[in-house]
Amino acid sequence: MRILIPNMKSKTFFLASLLLSTPLLADQAGPPHKSLVNLNKDGVAIEGYDPVAYFTDGKPVKGDPRQKASHDNAVYYFASAANKATFEAAPERYAPAYGGYCGYAASINRLSPISPDWWQIEDGKLILQHNKKAFDLFNRELKDNVVKADGNWPGLVEKNGSVGRPLVYLDKQGVALGGYDPVTYFTVGEPGAGDPTIEATFGGAKYHFVSQENRATFEKDPVKFVPAYGGFCGYAASVGKVRPADPLLWSIVDGQLIVQHTKGAVGLWTKDVAGNKSKADANWPNLVAKKAGKKKVIDPLYRIAGVIPVY
């Protein structure tokens, strides 16, 4: 029988090296990856159109929900299994530039929705546009606008991107805040019913506005105007729950729009605004991680041993 005697010097050196290298490895990992993709309420990009077909067919082709793949927190639909396989082999090649937001808008440092029918391929990149006007403006000075959009995009992602899927309270049409204009809460000091024909998209939600000016204001800085906690009830978030909210029951706290479920929730929230907001801020990332992308996200209304009041 052989008895192996460990080399203590080697073992000590190994452990010391491991301890010294661990912080370095942690530093190299860097912050979590942020993504910014133009999604619909189901987390689907390009309004369900096949990104590969723009390259292979030279035209927009509606994708089949049964043929889908995920990339960068977005779902893409494809017209065929072959197109799906092509995408999965090289998703960075076929996913649209600027997260599928309007190319011209990116060139002026905004985030605008797109029409799948207005598109072009430049330098191997699929670039989508909001409408004919945006297409024409982008192509008026094409090279310069591509350079501007490319330069603006990292900053737009850093400012407006998120880690993982968003969690937003939407109606059946995918509209947030019940169609109220998120900007008027800040500029006018009251909710304003938005016009469905004046629309922006952000975080998988549609937002409506009372004017094109408000839409432009929003698109330049959407994270400033979107409601906190995905537009769900602020008080519910403070007790670790996800509940609907009424856009007419609102307040602005620390520069964030916060909406509540009922007048009872308003009363409970206002008893300790700073404390409740601190709790909601702490709870929200975990709620998003747990519920984003799920079909049922609303928590039932009940008491927990008398600690959480019904509201």
Distance from chain centroid for Cα 293: 12
Q: Which residues pair with 301 in a beta bridge?
A: none
Q: What is the pLDDT of residue 23?
A: 43
For residue 68, the SS3 value is: strand
Digit-coded pLDDT (tens) for 234-267: 999 999 999 999 999 999 999 999 999 999 999 9
Question: Is there a domain that residue 22 lies in?
Answer: no
Question: Is there a domain that residue 305 lies in?
Answer: no
Distance separating alpha carbons of residues 63 and 261, to the nearest angstrom: 37
Residue where a domain terminates, one of 126, 160, 194: 160
- Summarize the confidence of residues 73-88 as an average pLDDT: 98
Residues 185 and 211 occupy one common structural domain:
yes
Question: Is there a domain that residue 129 lies in?
Answer: yes
Question: Is there a domain that residue 303 lies in?
Answer: no
Residues 152 and 205 occupy one common structural domain:
no
CA atoms within 13 A on the CB side of 233: 26
Q: What is the pLDDT of residue 164?
A: 85
Digit-coded pLDDT (tens) for 81-97: 999 999 999 999 999 99
Residues 77 and 151 occupy one common structural domain:
yes
CA dihedral for 76, 78, 81, 85, sign (positive or negative): negative
- Summarize the confidence of residues 264-279 as an average pLDDT: 98
Question: Is there a domain that residue 31 lies in?
Answer: no
Which of the 8 DSSP states describes residue 229?
G
Closest CA to 49 of 117, 103, 106, 112: 117
Helix extents (H) in 161-252: 184-187, 212-220, 222-225, 234-238
The count of domains in the chain is 2
Residues 107 and 183 occupy one common structural domain:
no
Closest CA to 170 of 222, 206, 194, 200: 206
Distance from chain centroid for Cα 183: 18
Helix extents (H) in 129-183: 132-140, 142-160
Q: What is the pLDDT of residue 301?
A: 76
Residues 134 and 222 occupy one common structural domain:
no
Residues 252 and 154 occupy one common structural domain:
no
Residue where a domain terminates, one of 95, 128, 160: 160
Question: Is there a domain that residue 66 lies in?
Answer: yes
- Cβ-defined contacts of 76-81 (< 8 Å, 24+): 76/44, 76/45, 76/46, 76/50, 76/51, 77/44, 77/48, 77/49, 77/50, 78/50, 78/52, 78/53, 79/50, 79/52, 79/53
Digit-coded pLDDT (tens) for 91-119: 999 999 999 999 999 999 999 999 999 99
Between 255 and 306, residue with greater pLDDT: 255
Domain encompassing residue 197: 177-291
Question: Is there a domain that residue 15 lies in?
Answer: no
Residues 181 and 148 occupy one common structural domain:
no
Total residue length of the chain: 311
Residues 153 and 182 occupy one common structural domain:
no
Question: Is there a domain that residue 86 lies in?
Answer: yes
